[in-house]
Chains A and B, each alone.
Chain A
């Protein structure tokens, strides 16, 4: 089983609609969670961190469910410019400092917003 798993998509979303997708992680010791966005042939860029209490940034809402070991991203009022691959990223903080800040990336969920 992969450490971080995502539905690869693509999610075809009409402009203005809402889309949501999840990411599951296998290591219960995981402490930090992020969503990165990657446009075609570009580098990943941080979209938002995911906090235990959930957080919202404009049209984007991220949630964390520790009991079920998944995080989610919801995009409201989708824009054409939201078309991208969304990478789920997990950072494990071992009790013994060894792995440092090694991020584990999911394979990404591709979102296509269409007019």
Chain B
């Protein structure tokens, strides 16, 4: 079946602009995660959604970052007033339930000029 999809695959923006990144999880997966990976670095947890529970936002680096998950499916990560240090690959993952294997999307490569 279809895996996790993300859009856009690449995004180039100017410093100070807002960007929206989209994630479509695997159908039926209740848990959805956002991570960030800077060049040559490991993955950094950003936010986690599980069913109808309040999201775990503990990894968001600043209040410029926010995310929502509508209808328990698609999620959007929004970065306001982008900065050059926001440049990274933003990865989305989903899992069937908590404690299950996470399946990653191909990521969105964000470049802030």
Contact = CB atoms under 8 A, between A and B. Distances in A.
Q: Are A and B subunits of one complex? A: yes
Contact of B99 (A87, A101, A107, A108): A101
A100 B42 contact: no
A103 interface: yes
A94 B102 CA distance: 19
A4 B101 CA distance: 19
Range, interface on chain A: 20 to 34
Contacts, number: 59
B56 to A, nearest CB: 5
Interface residues of B, number: 26
A99 interface: yes
Given A43-B91, A102-B56, A108 B42 contact: yes
Contacts of A104: 45
Contact of B42 (A45, A93, A98, A106): A106
Interface of A: 4, 32, 34, 42-46, 49, 87, 91, 93, 98-108
Q: Which 10 A-B pairs have the closest CB atoms?
A: A43-B104, A107-B42, A105-B43, A101-B98, A105-B42, A46-B101, A44-B104, A102-B45, A43-B106, A100-B56
Given A101-B102, A105-B42, 20 more contacts: A32-B99, A34-B101, A43-B91, A43-B104, A43-B107, A44-B43, A46-B101, A46-B103, A87-B43, A98-B56, A100-B50, A100-B56, A101-B31, A101-B50, A102-B33, A102-B56, A103-B33, A103-B102, A106-B42, A108-B42
